[in-house]
Amino acid sequence: MIRMVLHPDFEPLRDFVEHLCTGFHVSGQVLYRGRNELRIFETQSGPVVVKRFRTPHIINRIAYTFLRPSKARRSYEYARVLLHRGISTPHPVGYLEEYAGGVLARSFYVSRYASEARSLRPYLDGTQTDPDILRELAGFIAEMHAQGVLHLDLSPGNILMESLPSGVQFSLVDINRMRFARDIPFGAACANFQALACSSEASALLAECYAACRGWDPVEVRSAIDAASDRFFGGKAGRFARKAVRREKGWLCSVLGPVQGYYLCRTARKVMHLAALRGALAIRCRELETALYYRWMLPGDLRRVLERRNGYRRSP
């Protein structure tokens, strides 16, 4: 059994959407393949992008059938809410749900394809510099929050940027996790920036411009955004390192290897510091901790959170 909802403006695509269960994997151009898969299709109504959500485990299959909307349905409905509130997102075309054994098996979300859109990532990780784009982005997020919209997965990959004659336009994608409220409080608004900028300079400019748009204290806003970003990126360093160890040395070393050794050395060093132990063992522990950081942890410490907090210095 299938359930399909189509936007009234895209009635000519009814047959295309109805046959996604059989046609998705045999045509279209792969845009992204991972946990979910995105493909671009040329249709009589122009290019569209189809997102096939991975098949959920049995508990979620039951939940999406009886207790809450599927990710595809939420994407479609949230897109319509966003556009109603004046927040740009690729125009929704429709969604399709396939059921097997009485519960949800697969789901697809279809939207217009923003072919001219480009990524914000270089401006947020510091590889490219353009203060005007970051100011515009801060204004877009401020307007989004002022409209009571909170994107719960706000990251560089989930904001598209397009240059128009009227200026830069930003659009939200991957919108199945949203919160709509009458008011977004200070803490939630600042925490929403946590995954955006691994560049401290980009983060500082976003905070300054966002504070100006909201009429908030820029020092308080920057402090809150920095704290949220440091927690987010600091937590990613260990996960990134364990994946690198697993690729290079195998599974066993990823659970009983250099990453665990780093955390053990760091803990021991802190304990010895509290006990005022300054001998050769403490020095050696610090040296080993630093060496493990620069060998394994640094590539994932994108915001240099661990380096700053622990005062690491490379050996000359």
In a domain, 130, yes or no: yes
Burial label for 75, CB within 10 Å (0-12, 13-18, 19+), is buried
What is the per-residue pLDDT across 119-150, written as a single tens digit (0 to 9) for each? Answer: 899 999 989 989 999 999 999 999 999 999 99
Q: Do 55 and 134 sit in the same domain of this protein?
A: no
In a domain, 269, yes or no: yes
Cα 257 from Cα 255, distance rounded (Å): 6
What is the per-residue pLDDT across 225-248, written as a single tens digit (0 to 9) for each? Answer: 999 999 999 999 999 999 999 999
- How many domains is the chain built from? 3
Chosen domain end from 112, 136, 162: 112
- CATH number (domain holding residue 81): 3.30.200
Give the tokens for residue 66: 């009886």
Nearest to 132 by CA among 161, 105, 111: 161
| CA angle (224 as vertex; 83, 183 as ends), nearest 5 | 35
In tens digits, what is the pLDDT along the chain, a chain of 316 residues? Answer: 899 999 999 999 999 999 999 989 888 999 999 889 999 999 999 999 999 999 988 998 899 899 999 999 999 999 999 999 999 999 999 999 999 989 999 999 999 998 888 889 999 998 998 999 999 999 999 999 999 999 999 999 999 999 888 778 999 999 999 999 988 999 999 999 999 999 999 999 999 999 999 999 999 999 999 999 999 999 999 999 999 999 999 999 999 999 999 999 999 999 998 888 888 899 999 999 999 999 999 999 999 999 999 999 887 6
Q: Do 180 and 85 sit in the same domain of this protein?
A: no
φ, ψ (nearest 5 deg) of residue 100: -140, 130
**Angstrom distances, CA of residue 58 to CA of 1, 4, 51, 100:** 17, 22, 21, 11
Q: Do 98 and 132 sit in the same domain of this protein?
A: no
Cα 247 from Cα 269, distance rounded (Å): 28
| CA angle (16 as vertex; 5, 25 as ends), nearest 5 | 110
Residue 305's pLDDT is 95
Range of the domain at 63: 2-112
Q: Do 65 and 135 sit in the same domain of this protein?
A: no
Strand partners, 42: 47
Strand partners, 145: none
Cα 200 from Cα 216, distance rounded (Å): 20
Residue 105's pLDDT is 92
Q: Do 124 and 104 sit in the same domain of this protein?
A: no
Cα 245 from Cα 300, distance rounded (Å): 12
Chosen domain end from 65, 96, 112: 112
- Dihedral sign of CA atoms 197, 203, 205, 211 in order: positive
In a domain, 204, yes or no: yes
In a domain, 232, yes or no: no
Residue 316's pLDDT is 64
Chosen domain end from 45, 80, 112: 112
Rg from Cα positions in the chain: 23
Longest dimension (CA), the chain: 77
Q: Do 84 and 135 sit in the same domain of this protein?
A: no
Give the tokens for residue 186: 């200070």
Q: Do 95 and 129 sit in the same domain of this protein?
A: no
In a domain, 303, yes or no: yes
In a domain, 223, yes or no: no
Give the tokens for residue 13: 């695509």
Q: Do 167 and 258 sit in the same domain of this protein?
A: no
Look at the block and give the residue holding tokens 């109603």: 84
